[in-house]
């Protein structure tokens, strides 16, 4: 248990994932998205999100071989955050580029070091698998999230992309971080 009352449970420490973990991760994803993306994504889209809509995706992710990996943070047995990493899928990425695909912590648990610890675990994992650089995408207008990544050693890159989805679009900015041995 960490000093702030939560514990990190990584993929490697489990004898395989219990299928129910997908439900807990999907719940954190939906609950966090509804708060963090409000004002960037239409309210109707956020309010329509249901954890069940993401179960198949999480079963697939959790069953992916390394270097794909997921870390989960729990408080009193409740999943309160997660981080998922994988090789970068960006068209312009070098083979040695890893990617932090998702980092979510329940809003009521923010500010306790959970996100920073989950992110650090993901970065360490990518480095361990030989990646020399890591990337992630953040909502360009979400300055709170961007400041968090910058505090954690990430740098905004020139790369941007637009995510168009059924009547709305969001702009994303890529963040990069070199993965040196001393990180």
Q: Is residue 183 part of a domain?
A: no
Residue carrying structure tokens 């505090």? 151
Q: Is residue 1 part of a domain?
A: no
Q: How confident is the model at residue 148 (pLDDT cuts 50, 70, 90)?
A: very high
pLDDT tens, position by position, 47-58 = 999 999 999 888
| Mean pLDDT, range 93-101, rounded to an integer | 96
Q: Is residue 108 part of a domain?
A: yes
- Give the CATH number of the domain where residue 27 resides: 3.40.630.30
Residues 6+ apart with CB under 8 A from 152: 116, 119, 120
Distance from C-alpha of 4 to C-alpha of 43, rounded to nearest angstrom: 33
Q: Is residue 2 part of a domain?
A: no
Q: Residue 110: give the domain boundaries.
A: 7-178
Q: Is residue 20 part of a domain?
A: yes
- Work out how many domains the chain is built from and give that number: 1
Distance from C-alpha of 132 to C-alpha of 149, rounded to nearest angstrom: 18
Q: 0.75 exceeded by the pTM?
A: yes
| Mean pLDDT, range 68-95, rounded to an integer | 93
- Return the pLDDT at 13: 40
Q: Is residue 78 part of a domain?
A: yes
pLDDT tens, position by position, 151-160 = 999 999 999 9
Q: Is residue 81 part of a domain?
A: yes
């Amino acid at each position: 248990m960490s000093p702030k009352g939560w514990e990190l449970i990584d993929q490697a420490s489990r004898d395989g994932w219990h299928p129910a973990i997908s439900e807990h991760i999907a719940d954190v994803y939906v609950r966090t998205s509804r708060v963090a993306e409000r004002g960037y994504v239409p309210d109707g889209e956020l309010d329509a999100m249901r954890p069940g809509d993401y179960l198949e995706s999480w079963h697939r992710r959790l069953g992916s071989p390394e270097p794909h990996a997921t870390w989960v943070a729990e408080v009193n047995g409740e999943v309160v955050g997660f981080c998922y990493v994988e090789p970068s899928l960006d068209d312009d990425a070098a083979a040695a580029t890893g990617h932090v695909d998702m980092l979510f912590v329940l809003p009521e648990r923010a500010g306790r070091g959970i996100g920073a610890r989950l992110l650090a675990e993901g970065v360490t994992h990518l480095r361990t698998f030989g990646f020399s650089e890591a990337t992630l995408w953040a909502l360009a207008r979400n300055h709170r999230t961007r400041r968090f990544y910058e505090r954690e050693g990430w740098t905004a890159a020139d790369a941007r992309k637009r995510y168009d989805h059924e009547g709305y679009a969001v702009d994303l900015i890529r963040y990069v971080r070199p993965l040196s041995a001393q990180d």
